């Protein structure tokens, strides 16, 4: 489970004094699937922190990961979508997002597809804005947030008929100042949206100097990392 050569190409932030998470797999002794679900499985792993150390057992949710999109227009308004979420029984303001559940599809391609499917929009300029692991103590779910600019409507023949919860999606362009206020007033509860809004606000005020290549390696995504290393 060591990182592949490609994954070493991300900048070494620690070299310039910035904190940086690092891939550091420990001794894996066994792995089994304890539960198979519609979207995620529950995996049980036995491992040791050090060679010959005590064996530890942990259960976690094996999740394909996801991508999310900040659609930012020329007026620095962010596109929020309202969608119902059954586990919390809430209608939530979020940003467009979707699972990495299409075999062979890159994260960027997935983001472009999800933006079109959920909002009927496309973008001419894409960058990686932020990444996070939703709940690293109990899940492998990783999320990459893209910043999409140069927004236009998709062609009429490419429109997607939305079904189930997505059929109720409501779109709203929100000025960034208002979106930040909504986060700080605890009006929004989607972690993806909250991280995206604050990261976009910071990026705007830093003249987008920290934006990253949208196709750069993603070593924090466990399953992408393992597939590249031949697991």
Question: Which residues are known to be catalytic?
Answer: 166
Sheet holding 41-48, edge to edge: 27-36, 41-48, 55-62
Cβ proximity of 114 and 98 under 8 Å:
yes
Could you tell me which of 121, 188, 203, 199 has the C-alpha nearest to residue 155?
121
Quote the CA–CA distance of 24 and 35 in Å, as a whole number: 26
Helical spans, DSSP H, in the chain: 107-119, 176-184, 191-205, 222-228
Instruction: Provide the residue count of the chain.
Output: 231
Is the Cα dihedral 39, 45, 48, 51 positive or negative? Answer: negative
Quote the CA–CA distance of 160 and 133 in Å, as a whole number: 29
Quote the CA–CA distance of 120 and 118 in Å, as a whole number: 6
């Amino acid at each position: 489970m060591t990182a592949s050569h490609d994954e070493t190409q991300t900048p070494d932030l620690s070299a310039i004094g910035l904190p940086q998470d690092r891939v550091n797999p420990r001794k894996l002794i066994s792995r089994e699937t304890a539960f198979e679900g519609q979207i995620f499985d529950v995996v049980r792993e036995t491992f040791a922190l050090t060679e010959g150390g005590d064996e530890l057992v942990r259960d976690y949710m094996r999740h394909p990961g996801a991508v999310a999109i900040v659609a930012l227009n020329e007026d620095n308004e962010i596109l929020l979508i309202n969608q119902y979420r059954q586990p919390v029984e809430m209608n939530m303001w979020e940003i467009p997002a979707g699972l990495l559940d299409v075999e062979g599809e890159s994260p960027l391609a997935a983001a472009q597809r999800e933006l079109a499917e959920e909002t009927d929009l496309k973008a001419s300029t894409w960058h990686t804005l932020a990444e996070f692991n939703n709940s690293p103590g109990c899940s492998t779910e990783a999320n990459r947030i893209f910043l999409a600019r140069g927004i236009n409507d998709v062609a009429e023949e490419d429109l997607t008929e939305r079904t189930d919860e997505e059929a109720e999606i409501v779109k709203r362009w929100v000025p960034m100042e208002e979106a930040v206020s909504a986060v700080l007033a605890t009006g929004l509860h989607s972690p993806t949206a909250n991280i995206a809004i604050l990261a976009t606000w910071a990026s705007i005020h830093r003249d987008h100097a920290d934006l990253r290549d949208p196709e750069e390696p993603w070593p924090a995504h466990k399953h992408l990392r393992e597939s590249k290393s031949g697991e």
